[in-house]
Amino acid sequence: MSVLVYLVPMALGLGVAGLFAFLWALRSGQFDDPQGAAIRMLRDDDIQSASPGHMNG
């Protein structure tokens, strides 16, 4: 069962990575506009006008 000494910390590490991804997403405002995100995904105007300074989310 000595393999557990590696496996458990590895599993935990993955969990912590997921937690930090969530906290980062929260901090960077990914949850501020859930309905808007659903719409922006379908917009394709960023393909035609790939202009610099285009602040599209």
Q: Give the binding site for another protein (CB under 8 A).
A: 1, 4, 8, 11-12, 15-16, 18-19, 22-23, 26, 31-36, 39-40, 42-43, 45, 53, 55, 57
Smallest separation (angstroms) from another protein to the CB of 49: 9
Nearer to another protein, 34 or 50 (CB): 34
Q: How far is 46 from 29, CA to CA, in rounded Å?
A: 21
Smallest separation (angstroms) from another protein to the CB of 50: 14
Q: Answer whether 15's CB lies under 8 Å from 9's CB.
A: no
DSSP character string of 1-29: -TTHHHHHHHHHHHHHHHHHHHHHHHHTT
